[in-house]
Amino acid sequence: MTSLKEQYHSNMTLAEAEKMVLQVLKDNMEEKICKDNVELMVVRTSTRKHERRTAEDLERLVATLS
């Protein structure tokens, strides 16, 4: 939780927020993070509808993590 508080800022883009969440998971999971053991959902304030990120989206995002 501390990592999220430290890294969050109110001007984040959705892409930055998604990457931040996955990085925190990667840093705290015992298993290696991959598309098979993580799901990512987004709820946009404009539509209030949820969107599930695809396996391909997750693969691409996970590949950008440090």
Instruction: Quickly count helices (H) and strands (E) in the chain.
Output: 3, 2
Band of pLDDT at residue 1, cut at 50, 70 and 90: low
Report the chain's terminal Cα–Cα distance, integer Å.
Answer: 19
Torsion-angle region of 57 (φ positive above 0: left; ψ -120 to 50: alpha; else: beta): alpha
Distances (CA, A) of 62 to 22, 49, 55, 66: 7, 24, 10, 9
13-49 pLDDT, tens digit per residue, is 999 999 999 999 999 999 999 999 999 999 999 999 9
Domain range list for the chain: 2-63
Measured distance CA(60)–CA(40) in Å, rounded: 13
